[in-house]
């Protein structure tokens, strides 16, 4: 029996309907949620990603500010731009589109963003706070994966969860978020020997390695939940994930497609974090009667 498809597009649509309602509530109270996106240089892929984020903002009623900086801009100028946005009360989220040119220190730039506007969840505070479960803004891709897992209706507590890929953006925070839900977590990376001996034990397999076709059926446990975070463009122009989808879906119980799985959720959780920031700012301003934020919920099939 083929796996059930975890439809990221459908879940993203469901969540964005709720976002518009939250935006309208905020605007009725005089708060217009705003997201600033900084793009350094003219990387074609980055322009596409920025465009998708701006489009998502428009769909949900969030004001977006696109700041394009030249590829040779100084690090000092980037930091000045961030500080101006930190001080701007009309901006509730600041996003730096990656990658940055090599002459700019990524860590220094990410640390310059106010932790209260770090809607990508990349600031050291937000990443480190995942250990205690007190992160203000969870990183968007792992956050989206978490909600996709919720749609299966399966409790991850006690399950063997294997994450392939140990990046600071996906793999490491994903592992911490799964630990918070009491899964038993293994994180594999480029130096892992005999990857298959780890993946075959996974009840939940999350793959974010950036290698097309890395995961084949022989590496997947019968009935596993498979989440494919990879996005790879093949020479013929096709977009594929890190998992051999057609073959693995005959062995898994649930699986995400590429495209249409994790991707739409990453952008959606960026909007979620921006709205949380606006709601926090509103409450901090002294409106105690405002309804407290609650994590988005999804309906199980």
| Catalytic status, residue 283 | no
For 243-266, b/e burial (b = at least 16 CB within 10 A) is bbbeebbebbbbbbbbebbbbbbb
Q: Distance (Å, rounded) from C-alpha 229 to C-alpha 211?
A: 11
117 touches 85 (CB < 8 A): yes
Catalytic residue among 117, 118, 120, 228: 120
| Catalytic status, residue 72 | no
| Catalytic status, residue 211 | no
Catalytic residue among 14, 21, 42, 53: 53
Q: Is the dihedral of CA 50, 51, 57, 63 positive or negative?
A: positive
39 touches 291 (CB < 8 A): no
102 CA to centre of own chain: 24
Cα atoms in the 13 Å half-sphere on the side-chain side of 280? 16
Catalytic residue among 14, 27, 42, 97: 97
Kindly list the catalytic residues. Answer: 53, 97, 120
């Amino acid at each position: 029996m083929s796996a059930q498809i975890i439809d990221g597009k459908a879940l993203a649509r469901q969540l964005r309907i709720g976002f518009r309602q939250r935006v309208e509530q905020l605007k009725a109270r005089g708060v217009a949620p705003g997201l600033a996106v900084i793009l350094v240089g003219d990387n074609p892929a980055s322009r596409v990603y920025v465009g998708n984020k701006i489009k998502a903002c428009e769909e949900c009623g969030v004001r977006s500010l696109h700041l394009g900086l030249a590829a040779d801009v100084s690090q000092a100028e980037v930091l000045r731009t961030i500080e101006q946005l930190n001080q701007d009360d009309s901006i509730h989220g600041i996003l730096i589109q990656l990658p940055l040119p090599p002459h700019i220190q990524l860590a220094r730039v990410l640390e310059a963003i106010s932790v209260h506007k770090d809607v990508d969840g990349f600031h050291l505070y937000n990443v480190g706070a995942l250990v205690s479960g007190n992160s203000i803004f969870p990183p968007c891709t792992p956050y989206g994966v978490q909600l996709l897992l919720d749609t299966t209706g399966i409790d991850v507590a006690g399950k063997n969860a294997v994450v392939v890929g140990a990046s600071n953006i996906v793999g490491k925070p994903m592992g911490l978020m799964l630990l918070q839900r009491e899964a038993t977590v293994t994180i594999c990376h480029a130096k892992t020997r005999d990857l298959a001996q780890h993946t075959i034990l996974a009840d939940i397999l999350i793959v974010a390695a950036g290698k097309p076709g890395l995961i084949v059926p022989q590496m997947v446990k019968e009935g596993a939940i498979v989440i494919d975070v990879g996005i790879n463009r093949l020479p013929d122009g096709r977009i594929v994930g890190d998992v051999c989808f057609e073959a693995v879906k005959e062995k898994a119980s649930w699986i995400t497609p590429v495209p249409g799985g994790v991707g739409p959720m990453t952008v959606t959780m960026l909007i979620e974090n921006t709205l949380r920031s606006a709601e926090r700012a509103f409450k901090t301003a002294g409106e105690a009667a405002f309804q407290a934020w609650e994590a988005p919920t999804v309906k199980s099939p």
